[in-house]
Amino acid sequence: NAGVTQTPKFRILKIGQSMTLQCAQDMNHNYMYWYRQDPGMGLKLIYYSVGAGITDKGEVPNGYNVSRSTTEDFPLRLELAAPSQTSVYFCASSYSSGGQPQHFGDGTRLSIL
């Protein structure tokens, strides 16, 4: 029962470096999401996708890019890492729209120094 799998679990980046956070789900869910969680701020939506080939901006998309070439995978790309992107990132998926529960991965803790 893999569910939603995120890699890596931890990463330290230098300012200006780039990296891709991986997210994969094996539940055949159409919808996938990326959130960031900052202390005292709750979960903020970065990007989401309603199906392969379709992505949309969330509340805090600046500095990030996503792609959805398959139903299973939804990678999140940081092109020029900045200290403000230090956060815990969660990927989630759901079968359909906001009326269905979301299933979350274990998170990626990212520090940018």
Partner 1 sequence: ILNVEQSPQSLHVQEGDSTNFTCSFPSSNFYALHWYRWETAKSPEALFVMTLNGDEKKKGRISATLNTKEGYSYLYIKGSQPEDSATYLCARGSQGNLIFGKGTKLSVKP
* Interface with partner 1 (CB under 8 A): 33, 35, 40-45, 48, 50, 56, 58-59, 90, 97-107
For partner 1, give the closer residue by CB, 48 or 81: 48
Task: State the minimum distance, in angstroms, from the CB of residue 43 to partner 1.
Answer: 4
Can you tell me whether residue 96 is helix, strand or coil? coil
- 66 within 8 A of 31, measured Cβ to Cβ: no
Q: Which parts of 1-113 are beta strand (E)? A: 4-7, 10-13, 19-25, 31-38, 42-51, 54-57, 64-66, 76-78, 87-94, 103-104, 108-112
Task: State the minimum distance, in angstroms, from the CB of residue 56 to partner 1.
Answer: 7
For partner 1, give the closer residue by CB, 48 or 64: 48
For partner 1, give the closer residue by CB, 17 or 96: 96
